[in-house]
């Protein structure tokens, strides 16, 4: 394995890879900027020599960090230079920006409680992923065993699928029929609960099936 060396490259010599699919919301980009501004630290960018442009480098991982550094008025960034071809670059674009683990809920809760003991929750919400309400729910002073189910929903998982116009209309009608008002719940949470109720109805055995099972 080759030894990795961190180098400092001027920002005007760095440019994002045009095919990088990773995008960050404006809110998270702002949190990234605040974190770098607060700590003065960031993970070095991963770059490769820019094809056809001597002395320039193409960012494979760290485009948003680079943009944050520019907004903070810095002139250069710490980078790791990997000499890779186009095929290797494409693989890295699909892995460096995507591979990651999942939080262990109890450890996440312990970490948040330590942080909120030192940093006001409202200020913490400007630095960490998740909203103020999510952080407040996770750090509420209740035993973990009583809140695990609710907290598991605090950092929701996205489900993506594609439908045509007719399917969308029927789905919207079903969600509207199943949706129930709930205090403190936003529209997304209510619709998620409605979709779960629809799924449970499908999974529950019908009356005829129950009779067959008892005969």
Given 3.50.50.60, 3.40.50.2300, 1.10.730.10, 3.90.1530.10, which CATH number is that of 6-95? 3.90.1530.10
pLDDT single digits (tens) 11-20? 999 999 998 8
* Band of residue 211 on the pLDDT scale cut at 50, 70, 90: very low
Angle of CA points 3, 53, 2, to nearest 5°:
10
> Residue 52 pLDDT more than 70?
yes
| Residue of 159 and 18 predicted with greater confidence | 18
> Residue 9 pLDDT more than 90?
yes
**Cα–Cα nearest to 19, from 77, 89, 95, 85:** 89
Range in 41-50, 87-96, 105-114, 152-161 with the lowest mean pLDDT: 152-161
* Band of residue 212 on the pLDDT scale cut at 50, 70, 90: very low
pTM: 0.61
Long-range contacts of 24-28 (CB under 8 A, 24+ apart): 24/64, 28/129
pLDDT single digits (tens) 23-44? 888 888 999 999 999 999 999 9
**Cα–Cα nearest to 156, from 117, 189, 204:** 189
| Mean pLDDT, the chain, whole residue set | 82
Confidence at residue 149, expressed as pLDDT on a 0 to 100 scale = 46
Domain residue limits, the chain: 6-95, 105-151, 165-214
> Residue 163 pLDDT more than 50?
yes
**Cα–Cα nearest to 113, from 86, 136, 146, 92:** 136
| Residue of 138 and 154 predicted with greater confidence | 138
């Amino acid at each position: 394995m080759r030894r990795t060396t961190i180098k400092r490259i001027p920002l005007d010599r760095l440019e994002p890879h045009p095919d990088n699919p990773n995008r960050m919301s404006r809110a998270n980009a702002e949190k990234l900027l605040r974190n770098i501004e607060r700590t003065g630290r960031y993970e070095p960018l991963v770059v490769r020599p820019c094809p056809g442009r001597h002395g320039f480098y193409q960012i494979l991982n760290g485009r948003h960090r680079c943009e944050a550094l520019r907004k903070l008025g810095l002139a250069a960034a710490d980078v790791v230079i990997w000499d890779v071809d186009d095929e290797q670059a494409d693989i890295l674009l699909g892995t460096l920006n995507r591979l990651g683990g999942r939080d262990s809920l109890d450890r996440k809760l312990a970490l948040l409680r330590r942080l909120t003991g030192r940093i006001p929750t409202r200020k913490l919400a400007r630095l960490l992923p998740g909203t103020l309400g999510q952080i407040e729910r996770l750090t509420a002073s209740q035993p973990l065993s009583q809140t695990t189910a609710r907290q598991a929903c605090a950092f929701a998982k996205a489900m993506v699928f594609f439908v045509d116009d007719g399917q969308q209309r029927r789905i919207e009608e079903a969600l509207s029929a199943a949706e129930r008002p709930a205090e403190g719940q936003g529209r997304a949470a209510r619709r998620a609960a409605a979709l779960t109720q629809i799924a449970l109805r499908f999974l529950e055995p019908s009356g005829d099936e129950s009779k067959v099972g008892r005969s």
